[in-house]
Amino acid sequence: MLQVKPQPHSGPAGSDPDAGLSIAEAARRTGVSVHTLRYYERAGLVVTPVGRTAGGRRRYHQFDLQWIVVCTKLRATGMPIKTIRCYAELISAGHGNEQERLALLEAHRADVSAKLAEVQENLRLIDHKIDVYRGRLAAGDADQLWAPPISE
């Protein structure tokens, strides 16, 4: 859903393609607020430190944007910040821990699957209630719906 749009060569905030993007541009392109971008960085959700200008401003490059998008997707499936940091640290540590990365992803996949199944299961109850309400309302006898006991 979120895609890092290719830079149209001369966009706002710097036309030099190698200079990197301002935080505002990065936010716009990733769909994440600037606040959140800084928060993620503080929280350790980085694989490589984001570049800085001489004056200390962040400069986002293609790789940074791609990583941020990955973070949003992991977040969207409910992966906690801590776990994403863990994953980032593994990638950051370089080659040799691919088994661990895989294990982390598989564990998360299992969590998401379980959660998905649970939600779908409970959604059925809601659907059932909706059906019942629709039916009763159409039939004009909504009085028969589940209601609290008169007075115990």
Partner DNA sequence: GCTTGACCTGGAGCATGCTCTAAATCCTAT
Partner DNA sequence: ATAGGATTTAGAGCATGCTCCAGGTCAAGC
How far is 113 from 83, CA to CA, in rounded Å? 17
**Which one among 5, 7, 105, 114 touches its own copies, defined by CB under 8 A?**
105
CA atoms of 127 and 113, how far apart (whole Å): 21
Which member of 39, 51, 57, 82 binds its own copies (CB under 8 A)?
51
Q: Which does 63 bind (CB under 5 to 8 A by kind): DNA, its own copies, none?
A: its own copies
Helix (H, G, I), strand (E, B) or coil at 59: strand
d(CA 139, CA 93): 65
Strand, coil or helix: 5:
coil
> Which CB sits closer to its own copies, 1 or 54?
1
- Cβ 24 to DNA, closest distance in Å? 3
Q: Is the dihedral of CA 33, 37, 85, 46 positive or negative?
A: positive
Catalog residues that contact its own copies under the rule CB under 8 A: 1, 47-48, 51, 61, 63, 70, 73-74, 76-78, 91-92, 94-95, 98-99, 101-102, 105-106, 108-109, 112-113, 115-116, 118-123, 125-127, 129-130, 133-134, 136-137, 142-143, 145-149, 152
